[in-house]
Amino acid sequence: MAPTILIVGATGNTGKKVAETLPSLIKNTNSLADHRILCLTRSSSSEAAKKLAEFPGVELAEQNWVEIDAAWLQEHNVERIFIASHNEPNQFAEESQFYVNCLLANVKYVVRISTTGVNVKPDFLAYYPRQHWAIEQLLGSQEFTNLAWTSLQPNGFLPMFLWSAADFIKNYRKTGEQGSLGMMVDSDTPTALIDSDDVGRVAAHLLAQQDVTPHNNKKYILNGPEDITGNDIVQLVEEHIGTKVEKDKVAFKDVSGIDYMASESNQSKNIILSIKNAPTTMWAGKCKAETTSKEILDLYAPKRTAAEVLKELVQE
Protein backbone atom coordinates (compact mmCIF):
# COMPACT_ATOMS: atom_id res chain seq x y z
CA MET A 1 0.00 0.00 0.00
CA ALA A 2 1.21 3.52 -0.82
CA PRO A 3 2.25 5.70 2.10
CA THR A 4 -0.71 7.64 3.46
CA ILE A 5 -1.44 11.14 4.69
CA LEU A 6 -4.43 10.83 7.02
CA ILE A 7 -6.89 13.68 7.55
CA VAL A 8 -8.83 13.35 10.80
CA GLY A 9 -11.81 15.68 10.95
CA ALA A 10 -11.91 15.96 7.16
CA THR A 11 -15.51 17.21 7.07
CA GLY A 12 -14.99 19.77 9.83
CA ASN A 13 -14.25 23.49 9.87
CA THR A 14 -10.56 23.18 9.03
CA GLY A 15 -10.22 19.63 7.71
CA LYS A 16 -12.24 20.14 4.54
CA LYS A 17 -9.86 22.85 3.33
CA VAL A 18 -6.88 20.60 4.13
CA ALA A 19 -8.41 17.92 1.91
CA GLU A 20 -9.09 20.39 -0.86
CA THR A 21 -5.66 22.06 -0.78
CA LEU A 22 -3.23 19.22 -0.10
CA PRO A 23 -3.45 17.17 -3.36
CA SER A 24 -2.17 19.97 -5.57
CA LEU A 25 0.63 20.80 -3.10
CA ILE A 26 2.11 17.30 -3.01
CA LYS A 27 1.55 16.54 -6.70
CA ASN A 28 4.90 17.88 -7.87
CA THR A 29 7.05 17.03 -4.84
CA ASN A 30 9.80 14.44 -5.03
CA SER A 31 9.05 12.59 -1.82
CA LEU A 32 5.27 12.96 -1.41
CA ALA A 33 3.85 12.64 -4.93
CA ASP A 34 3.12 8.93 -4.45
CA HIS A 35 1.31 9.42 -1.13
CA ARG A 36 -2.41 8.83 -1.00
CA ILE A 37 -4.65 11.20 0.98
CA LEU A 38 -7.14 9.36 3.17
CA CYS A 39 -9.99 11.37 4.71
CA LEU A 40 -11.93 10.01 7.65
CA THR A 41 -15.70 10.36 7.92
CA ARG A 42 -18.19 8.78 10.27
CA SER A 43 -20.66 8.41 7.40
CA SER A 44 -19.74 8.38 3.73
CA SER A 45 -23.42 9.05 2.91
CA SER A 46 -23.52 12.41 4.70
CA GLU A 47 -23.74 15.56 2.59
CA ALA A 48 -20.37 16.78 3.89
CA ALA A 49 -18.72 13.47 2.95
CA LYS A 50 -20.29 13.51 -0.51
CA LYS A 51 -18.85 16.97 -1.14
CA LEU A 52 -15.49 15.79 0.16
CA ALA A 53 -15.51 12.85 -2.25
CA GLU A 54 -15.68 15.32 -5.15
CA PHE A 55 -12.22 16.67 -4.35
CA PRO A 56 -9.65 15.19 -6.76
CA GLY A 57 -6.89 13.10 -5.26
CA VAL A 58 -8.57 12.08 -2.01
CA GLU A 59 -10.03 8.82 -0.71
CA LEU A 60 -12.67 8.38 1.99
CA ALA A 61 -12.84 5.89 4.83
CA GLU A 62 -15.66 5.42 7.34
CA GLN A 63 -13.86 5.39 10.68
CA ASN A 64 -14.23 7.06 14.06
CA TRP A 65 -10.75 8.35 14.85
CA VAL A 66 -11.03 7.69 18.59
CA GLU A 67 -11.28 3.96 17.80
CA ILE A 68 -8.09 3.90 15.70
CA ASP A 69 -5.26 1.80 17.11
CA ALA A 70 -1.64 1.27 16.08
CA ALA A 71 -2.54 -1.77 13.96
CA TRP A 72 -5.01 0.31 11.90
CA LEU A 73 -2.39 3.00 11.30
CA GLN A 74 0.16 0.39 10.22
CA GLU A 75 -2.34 -1.40 8.00
CA HIS A 76 -3.01 1.85 6.14
CA ASN A 77 0.69 2.79 6.06
CA VAL A 78 0.01 6.18 7.65
CA GLU A 79 3.07 8.46 7.66
CA ARG A 80 1.59 11.92 8.18
CA ILE A 81 -1.58 13.08 9.94
CA PHE A 82 -3.75 16.15 10.25
CA ILE A 83 -6.05 16.12 13.26
CA ALA A 84 -8.66 18.56 14.47
CA SER A 85 -9.92 16.96 17.67
CA HIS A 86 -13.08 17.81 19.56
CA ASN A 87 -12.66 19.98 22.68
CA GLU A 88 -15.01 18.14 25.00
CA PRO A 89 -13.88 17.37 28.56
CA ASN A 90 -12.54 13.94 27.55
CA GLN A 91 -10.34 15.40 24.80
CA PHE A 92 -7.04 14.71 26.55
CA ALA A 93 -7.83 11.05 27.15
CA GLU A 94 -8.84 10.39 23.54
CA GLU A 95 -6.30 12.58 21.77
CA SER A 96 -3.36 11.44 23.89
CA GLN A 97 -4.31 7.80 23.28
CA PHE A 98 -4.30 8.54 19.55
CA TYR A 99 -0.73 9.90 19.76
CA VAL A 100 0.48 6.92 21.75
CA ASN A 101 -0.86 4.74 18.93
CA CYS A 102 0.86 7.00 16.38
CA LEU A 103 4.13 6.51 18.21
CA LEU A 104 3.71 2.74 18.25
CA ALA A 105 2.86 2.73 14.53
CA ASN A 106 5.92 4.82 13.61
CA VAL A 107 3.89 7.71 12.20
CA LYS A 108 6.38 10.37 11.14
CA TYR A 109 4.58 13.71 11.47
CA VAL A 110 1.39 15.18 12.94
CA VAL A 111 -0.18 18.61 12.42
CA ARG A 112 -2.81 19.33 15.05
CA ILE A 113 -5.26 22.14 15.76
CA SER A 114 -4.91 23.73 19.18
CA THR A 115 -6.61 26.94 20.33
CA THR A 116 -5.81 30.63 20.93
CA GLY A 117 -2.12 30.68 21.79
CA VAL A 118 -2.20 33.09 24.72
CA ASN A 119 -4.83 30.89 26.38
CA VAL A 120 -2.78 27.68 26.20
CA LYS A 121 -1.35 27.52 29.70
CA PRO A 122 -1.87 25.30 32.74
CA ASP A 123 -3.80 27.84 34.84
CA PHE A 124 -6.20 29.25 32.25
CA LEU A 125 -9.74 29.49 33.61
CA ALA A 126 -11.49 27.91 30.61
CA TYR A 127 -10.92 24.17 30.66
CA TYR A 128 -10.14 23.30 27.04
CA PRO A 129 -6.99 25.46 26.59
CA ARG A 130 -5.52 23.54 29.55
CA GLN A 131 -6.19 20.30 27.66
CA HIS A 132 -4.32 21.66 24.65
CA TRP A 133 -1.47 22.70 26.95
CA ALA A 134 -1.32 19.17 28.35
CA ILE A 135 -1.32 17.62 24.85
CA GLU A 136 1.52 19.90 23.75
CA GLN A 137 3.49 19.02 26.88
CA LEU A 138 3.00 15.33 26.12
CA LEU A 139 4.13 15.67 22.50
CA GLY A 140 7.14 17.72 23.57
CA SER A 141 8.32 15.11 26.06
CA GLN A 142 11.40 12.92 25.59
CA GLU A 143 9.19 9.86 25.16
CA PHE A 144 7.67 11.32 21.97
CA THR A 145 10.93 12.31 20.29
CA ASN A 146 10.27 9.96 17.36
CA LEU A 147 6.96 11.64 16.47
CA ALA A 148 7.45 15.01 14.77
CA TRP A 149 4.60 17.47 15.34
CA THR A 150 3.37 21.00 14.85
CA SER A 151 0.57 22.53 16.90
CA LEU A 152 -1.43 25.34 15.29
CA GLN A 153 -2.89 27.85 17.76
CA PRO A 154 -5.56 29.83 15.87
CA ASN A 155 -7.50 32.80 17.16
CA GLY A 156 -11.32 32.62 17.11
CA PHE A 157 -12.86 31.44 13.84
CA LEU A 158 -14.63 34.12 11.80
CA PRO A 159 -17.65 31.98 10.80
CA MET A 160 -18.46 31.27 14.44
CA PHE A 161 -17.97 34.86 15.59
CA LEU A 162 -19.96 36.27 12.66
CA TRP A 163 -22.85 33.83 12.84
CA SER A 164 -25.06 36.22 14.83
CA ALA A 165 -24.30 39.06 12.40
CA ALA A 166 -25.22 36.91 9.42
CA ASP A 167 -28.41 35.76 11.11
CA PHE A 168 -29.30 39.38 11.94
CA ILE A 169 -28.89 40.37 8.27
CA LYS A 170 -30.91 37.45 6.93
CA ASN A 171 -33.73 38.10 9.40
CA TYR A 172 -33.82 41.82 8.54
CA ARG A 173 -33.97 41.10 4.82
CA LYS A 174 -36.85 38.70 5.42
CA THR A 175 -38.92 40.67 7.94
CA GLY A 176 -37.67 44.25 7.83
CA GLU A 177 -37.25 44.09 11.60
CA GLN A 178 -34.06 44.22 13.64
CA GLY A 179 -33.49 41.31 15.95
CA SER A 180 -30.70 40.98 18.51
CA LEU A 181 -27.04 41.22 17.53
CA GLY A 182 -24.86 39.51 20.11
CA MET A 183 -21.14 39.02 19.64
CA MET A 184 -18.32 37.72 21.80
CA VAL A 185 -15.86 40.44 20.79
CA ASP A 186 -15.51 43.74 22.62
CA SER A 187 -16.89 46.96 21.15
CA ASP A 188 -13.53 48.73 20.71
CA THR A 189 -10.76 46.23 21.38
CA PRO A 190 -9.13 44.99 18.15
CA THR A 191 -8.71 41.27 17.57
CA ALA A 192 -7.63 39.40 14.44
CA LEU A 193 -10.24 36.68 14.02
CA ILE A 194 -9.23 34.08 11.42
CA ASP A 195 -11.17 32.19 8.80
CA SER A 196 -11.17 28.45 9.44
CA ASP A 197 -10.40 27.87 5.74
CA ASP A 198 -7.13 29.75 6.14
CA VAL A 199 -6.22 27.52 9.09
CA GLY A 200 -6.82 24.46 6.89
CA ARG A 201 -4.63 25.89 4.14
CA VAL A 202 -1.80 26.50 6.60
CA ALA A 203 -2.06 22.90 7.81
CA ALA A 204 -1.98 21.62 4.22
CA HIS A 205 1.17 23.60 3.51
CA LEU A 206 2.84 22.09 6.57
CA LEU A 207 1.85 18.55 5.59
CA ALA A 208 3.25 19.15 2.10
CA GLN A 209 6.71 20.08 3.34
CA GLN A 210 9.26 17.52 2.17
CA ASP A 211 11.41 18.29 5.21
CA VAL A 212 9.34 18.96 8.32
CA THR A 213 12.36 19.36 10.60
CA PRO A 214 12.13 23.18 10.78
CA HIS A 215 8.54 22.86 12.01
CA ASN A 216 9.02 19.99 14.44
CA ASN A 217 8.12 20.63 18.06
CA LYS A 218 6.71 24.04 17.15
CA LYS A 219 3.61 25.90 18.28
CA TYR A 220 2.47 28.53 15.81
CA ILE A 221 0.05 31.37 16.49
CA LEU A 222 -2.46 32.06 13.69
CA ASN A 223 -4.51 35.22 13.35
CA GLY A 224 -6.41 36.77 10.50
CA PRO A 225 -4.83 39.48 8.31
CA GLU A 226 -6.62 42.39 9.99
CA ASP A 227 -7.71 43.55 13.41
CA ILE A 228 -11.43 44.08 13.85
CA THR A 229 -13.65 45.32 16.68
CA GLY A 230 -17.26 44.75 17.60
CA ASN A 231 -18.12 48.19 16.25
CA ASP A 232 -16.47 47.25 12.96
CA ILE A 233 -18.77 44.23 12.74
CA VAL A 234 -21.79 46.45 13.41
CA GLN A 235 -20.65 48.67 10.55
CA LEU A 236 -20.40 45.66 8.23
CA VAL A 237 -23.96 44.69 9.19
CA GLU A 238 -25.18 48.20 8.46
CA GLU A 239 -23.61 48.06 5.01
CA HIS A 240 -25.59 44.89 4.30
CA ILE A 241 -28.95 46.12 5.59
CA GLY A 242 -28.64 49.71 4.38
CA THR A 243 -29.53 51.34 7.69
CA LYS A 244 -28.19 51.92 11.18
CA VAL A 245 -28.37 49.10 13.73
CA GLU A 246 -30.33 50.24 16.77
CA LYS A 247 -27.99 50.49 19.77
CA ASP A 248 -30.28 48.57 22.10
CA LYS A 249 -30.16 45.59 19.74
CA VAL A 250 -26.39 45.13 20.17
CA ALA A 251 -24.66 43.16 22.93
CA PHE A 252 -20.85 43.06 23.05
CA LYS A 253 -18.87 40.51 25.08
CA ASP A 254 -21.91 38.27 24.76
CA VAL A 255 -21.25 34.80 26.15
CA SER A 256 -24.86 33.95 26.94
CA GLY A 257 -24.73 31.05 24.50
CA ILE A 258 -22.48 29.21 26.96
CA ASP A 259 -25.36 29.06 29.43
CA TYR A 260 -27.41 27.20 26.84
CA MET A 261 -24.49 24.85 26.13
CA ALA A 262 -24.20 24.07 29.84
CA SER A 263 -27.93 23.44 30.19
CA GLU A 264 -27.89 21.00 27.26
CA SER A 265 -24.66 19.20 28.15
CA ASN A 266 -24.45 15.98 30.16
CA GLN A 267 -20.99 17.06 31.31
CA SER A 268 -20.13 19.03 34.45
CA LYS A 269 -21.92 22.38 34.24
CA ASN A 270 -19.04 24.03 36.06
CA ILE A 271 -16.61 22.82 33.38
CA ILE A 272 -18.78 23.93 30.46
CA LEU A 273 -19.47 27.35 32.02
CA SER A 274 -15.71 27.93 32.32
CA ILE A 275 -15.75 28.52 28.52
CA LYS A 276 -17.06 32.00 29.32
CA ASN A 277 -13.49 32.91 30.22
CA ALA A 278 -12.09 32.02 26.79
CA PRO A 279 -12.59 35.46 25.14
CA THR A 280 -11.04 37.44 28.01
CA THR A 281 -7.66 37.57 26.27
CA MET A 282 -9.34 39.02 23.16
CA TRP A 283 -11.01 41.67 25.31
CA ALA A 284 -7.58 42.48 26.77
CA GLY A 285 -6.13 43.10 23.28
CA LYS A 286 -3.79 40.10 23.33
CA CYS A 287 -4.95 38.50 20.05
CA LYS A 288 -4.04 41.09 17.44
CA ALA A 289 -2.76 40.38 13.93
CA GLU A 290 0.77 41.34 14.95
CA THR A 291 1.03 38.27 17.19
CA THR A 292 0.88 35.80 14.26
CA SER A 293 4.01 33.64 14.12
CA LYS A 294 6.54 34.77 11.51
CA GLU A 295 6.86 31.19 10.27
CA ILE A 296 3.18 31.24 9.32
CA LEU A 297 3.53 34.49 7.42
CA ASP A 298 6.41 32.97 5.48
CA LEU A 299 4.64 29.66 4.84
CA TYR A 300 1.09 30.79 4.02
CA ALA A 301 -0.16 34.11 5.34
CA PRO A 302 -3.89 34.05 6.18
CA LYS A 303 -5.82 36.26 3.75
CA ARG A 304 -9.55 36.07 4.39
CA THR A 305 -11.21 39.11 5.97
CA ALA A 306 -14.36 39.51 8.06
CA ALA A 307 -16.09 41.31 5.19
CA GLU A 308 -15.44 38.41 2.81
CA VAL A 309 -16.60 35.75 5.26
CA LEU A 310 -19.73 37.66 6.27
CA LYS A 311 -20.69 38.15 2.63
CA GLU A 312 -20.52 34.40 2.08
CA LEU A 313 -22.44 33.62 5.27
CA VAL A 314 -25.41 35.79 4.30
CA GLN A 315 -25.57 34.10 0.90
CA GLU A 316 -25.86 30.61 2.35
Strand segments, DSSP code E, in 1-47 are 4-8, 36-41
* CATH architecture, domain 158-192+224-288+303-315: Alpha-Beta Complex (3.90)
Q: pLDDT tens, 171-226? A: 999 999 999 999 999 999 999 999 999 999 999 999 999 999 999 999 999 999 99
The full length of the chain comes to: 316
Superfamily name and number for 4-155+196-222:
NAD(P)-binding Rossmann-like Domain (3.40.50.720)
Task: Name the residue type at position 34.
Answer: D
This prediction has a pTM of: 0.96
What's the CA gap between 184 and 35, in Å, rounded?
41
What's the CA gap between 50 and 130, in Å, rounded?
35
Q: 116 by DSSP, 3-state: which?
A: coil
Q: pLDDT tens, 238-270? A: 999 999 999 999 999 999 999 999 999 999 999
**Sheet of 58-62, strands arranged across:** 58-62, 36-41, 4-8, 78-83, 109-113, 148-154, 218-222
Any bridge partners for residue 7, and if so which?
39, 82
Domain ranges, ordered by start, for the chain: 4-155+196-222, 158-192+224-288+303-315
Q: Do domains 4-155+196-222 and 158-192+224-288+303-315 have the same CATH topology?
A: no
